[in-house]
Each structure stands twice: as C-alpha cells, then as structure tokens.
C-alpha cells in the first residue's frame, strides 16, 4: 500500500523539478539557444549574438528565471559536449549538468529542433505574399 506522503498532492509538486534539454540551433547561420523541458514539454528559443561562454550563460539564466517565476526549479540540464566548459557556472546556479558523450547528441532536443524548423518552413511557405 502506498503511503499518503509518497503520492504528490498536486501536479505542480510532481513537476516542480524540471529537467531541461539544451542545444544551439542555426537558421541562416544565426544561432538560437533552444530548450525543452522533459516533464512539462515547454520549449524556449532565444537569439544569440555569438556563441561565447558569457552569452550562452546569460541565455541559460534567462530560462532558469522564466521557470522560477512560475514556481518551477531547473534541477538538471542535458546537453552535448559544447556546454561542458559551463559546468562550474551551472553548479553555481544549482543546475546539474549531464553531458552526452563524444559524437553523441541529446535526442529530445534534436527532435524538438527538427520540429521547430519544420513548422517554421511550413508557415513560411503558407504565407500568401513574398
């Protein structure tokens, strides 16, 4: 039998700790910082001026602040090898970094990027003017 303490009282308690999948997407050589959360499947995208460490950390802080405003806590981040140098900064923000091995990618964010690009292409081609 399950004790009452083991069962979350609300959906919010179940999904309070968020795991993010993070990557950088390119559209016409313009970098975008893209995230999607595992539990609630909320995606974000932000234009990056460059791919410097400080610029990417600013984007990560924006996303963490966005979730915390709504009562969520970003506890883990799944990324590829590009984000390894940011491990110390993410530890300061209390985010556990999980990096995929060499020549590997995080499937959830790669699929999200493909979906975003496909939807943008569809919308672009459906516009009735040039």
- What is the pTM for the complete model shown? 0.86
Cα separation, 24 vs 110, in Å, equals: 10
pLDDT tens digits along 80-118: 999 999 999 999 989 999 999 888 899 999 999 999 999
Percentage above 70 pLDDT, the chain? 93
User: With contact defined as beta carbons under 8 Å apart, do 37 and 106 qualify?
Assistant: no
The answer to whether residue 54 is domain-embedded is yes
Task: Kindly report the CATH number assigned to the domain that includes residue 27.
Answer: 3.30.420.10
- Does some domain include residue 106? yes
Q: Quote the domain boundaries for residue 97.
A: 16-126
Q: What total of structural domains would you count in the chain?
A: 1
| Mean pLDDT estimate for the chain | 90
Q: Maximum distance among all alpha carbons in the chain?
A: 63
Provide DSSP, 53-79: HHHHHHHHHHHHHHHHHTT-EEEEEEE
Report if residue 9 sits inside a domain: no
The per-residue pLDDT for 8 is 55
In-domain check, residue 10: no
| 59-90 pLDDT tens trace | 999 999 999 999 999 999 999 999 999 999 99
Does any domain span residue 1?
A: no
């Amino acid at each position: 039998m399950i004790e009452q303490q083991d069962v979350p009282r609300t959906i919010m308690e179940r999904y309070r700790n968020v795991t993010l999948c993070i990557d950088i997407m390119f559209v016409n050589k313009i970098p975008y910082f893209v995230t999607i959360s595992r539990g609630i499947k909320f995606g974000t995208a932000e234009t990056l001026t460059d791919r410097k460490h400080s610029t990417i950390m600013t984007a990560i802080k924006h996303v963490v602040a966005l979730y915390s405003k709504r009562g969520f806590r970003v506890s883990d981040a799944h990324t590829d090898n590009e984000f390894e140098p940011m491990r110390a900064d993410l530890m300061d923000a209390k985010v556990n970094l999980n990096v995929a091995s060499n020549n590997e990618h995080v499937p959830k964010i790669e699929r999200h990027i493909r979906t975003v690009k496909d939807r943008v292409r569809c919308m672009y081609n459906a516009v009735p003017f040039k």
